[in-house]
Structure 1
Amino acid sequence: MVAPELSKLIQSVVEDYLVDGERRYDRAQVAERSGVSPQVSRKLWMALGFPAHQDDAVEYNDHDVEAVRRFRGFKVVAESDMRQQASAARALGLSMARLAEWQADLMFAEITARVEAAVAEDSLTDQEKIAELTLTATRDTIEAVSQLQMYVWRRHLAAALSRSLDGGTAEDSTREIAVGFADMVGYTRLTRHLHPDELSMLLEAFESTTTAAITENGGWVVKNVGDEVMFAAETAAEGARIALAIQESTMVVGGTPELRVALAYGPVLQRLGDLYGSVVNMASRLTGVARPGTILIDDGAAAELADDPEFDVQNLRSVRVRGFNRLRPHLLRPKE
Structure 2
Amino acid sequence: MSRSDADRADLRDTLASLILGHELTLTSSEVTEKGGMDHSRGLRLWRALGFPETGDGLAYGEPDVKALVAVATALDGEMLDEATVLRMTRGLGATMARLADWQVSALIDQIEHDVEDGKSVTRLHAAAELARSAAPGFEYLMIYAWRRHLAAAVARVEALGAADAELLSTTMTVGFADLSRFTSLSNGLDDNSLGDLVENFETRCADIITAHGGRVIKTLGDAVLFVTEDPRQGTRTALDLVRQIASRTELPNVCVGLATGSVINRLGDVYGPPVNLAARLSHVARSNRVLVDAATAEALGDEFDTRTLPPRPLRGFGNLSPITVSERRGFRSR
Looking at structure 1, the residues matched to 33 and 92 of structure 2 have their Cα atoms a distance apart, in angstroms, of 24
Q: Conserved in 2, the CA contact under 8 Å of 1:77 and 1:85? A: no
Matched, 1:233 2:228: yes
TM-score using structure 2 length: 0.84
After superposition, residues 1-336 of structure 1 pair within 5 angstroms as 8-54=9-55, 56-74=56-74, 78=78, 81-104=81-104, 106=106, 113=114, 117=119, 138-168=131-161, 173-305=168-300, 308-336=301-329
Aligned to 2:307, what secondary structure does the other structure show? strand
d(CA) in 1 for partners of 2:263, 2:77 = 24
Q: Is the 8 A contact 1:111 1:141 kept in 2?
A: no
Q: How far off its partner does 1:140 sit? A: 2.4
Whether contact under 8 Å (2:75, 2:82) holds in the other structure is no
Aligned-partner Cα distance in 1 for 2:176–2:9: 44
* Counterpart Cα distance in 2 of 1:106 and 1:254: 23
Q: Matched residue pairs, number?
A: 322
Shift in Å at residue 98 of structure 1?
1.1
1:126: which partner in 2?
Answer: none
Say if 1:13 and 1:277 are closer, same or farther in 2 by CA, change over 3 A: same
C-alpha change, 1:157 and 1:7, in structure 2 (3 Å) is: farther
Q: Which runs of 5+ in 1 are unaligned?
A: 120-130
| 1:196-226 CA-partner distances (Å, limit 9, x unpaired) | 2322232233122211220111101111111
Q: Distance in 2 between matches of 1:248 and 1:187?
A: 18
- The question of whether the paired residues in 2 share the 8 Å contact of 1:10 and 1:134 is answered with no
Which amino acid in the other structure matches residue 68 of structure 1?
L
Distance, in Å, in 2 between the alignment partners of 1:218 and 1:206 is 19
Q: Deviations over 1:57-91 (max 9, x none)?
A: 43222211111222344479945554443222111
**CA separation of 1:322/1:67 partners in 2, compared to 1, >3 Å: closer, same or farther?**
same
AA in 2 matched with 1:11? R
Runs of 5+ consecutive residues of structure 2 not aligned to the other structure: 330-334
Q: Distance in 1 between matches of 2:90 and 2:66?
A: 18
The alpha carbon displacement at 1:172 in A equals: 7.7
Alignment RMSD (CA, Å):
3.3
Identity across aligned pairs (percent)?
A: 33
- What TM-score do you get using the length of structure 1 for normalisation? 0.84
Q: CA deviation at 1:266?
A: 0.9
User: Distance between the aligned counterparts of 1:205 and 1:104, measured in 2?
Assistant: 17
SS, match of residue 231 in structure 1: strand
The CA deviation at 1:257 is 1.3
What residue identity is the alignment partner of 1:285?
A: R
CA distance in 1, matches of 2:319, 2:235: 23
SS in 2 for 1:291: coil
